[in-house]
Amino acid sequence: MACAAFVAHGMDRERRTRLYLEARRCAEKAVLFQDFNDRRHCLIDLVEKFEGSDYFNFIKAVPAEMEEYFFSVEVVPVSSFLSWYLCRV
């Protein structure tokens, strides 16, 4: 299993594509991403805006974006703004 936490939202779409492909290549059965979901929080919005991440595009596209690269994607809510994305290879 490959894991990544709070990485994908900070990358642009092209880099996320490379992340997904590399994670899929390295993992035998599954990849676990821990990252934000589509529920917004004003403090997170503010921090991500200042950081210049791709957070706003990421939260619009996840998990459909991941489904382009993995056999299946199961979304497990962890908190009101955080989810685990269990991606089957």
pLDDT tens digits, residue range 29-43? 999 999 999 999 999
- Residue 65: the pLDDT is 97
How is the chain split into domains, by residue range?
Answer: 2-88
- Residue 24: the pLDDT is 97
Own/partner pairs for 36-39, CB < 8 Å, 24+ apart? 36/6, 36/9, 36/62, 36/81, 36/82, 36/83, 37/62, 37/75, 37/77, 37/81, 37/82, 37/83, 38/62, 39/80, 39/81
- What is the topology classification, in CATH, of domain 2-88? Rossmann fold (3.40.50)
| Confidence grade of residue 12 (pLDDT, cut at 50, 70, 90) | very high
- Residue 3: the pLDDT is 96
pTM check: above 0.85: yes
**pLDDT, mean over the chain:** 96
What mean pLDDT comes out for the span 5-19? 97
- Residue 17: the pLDDT is 98
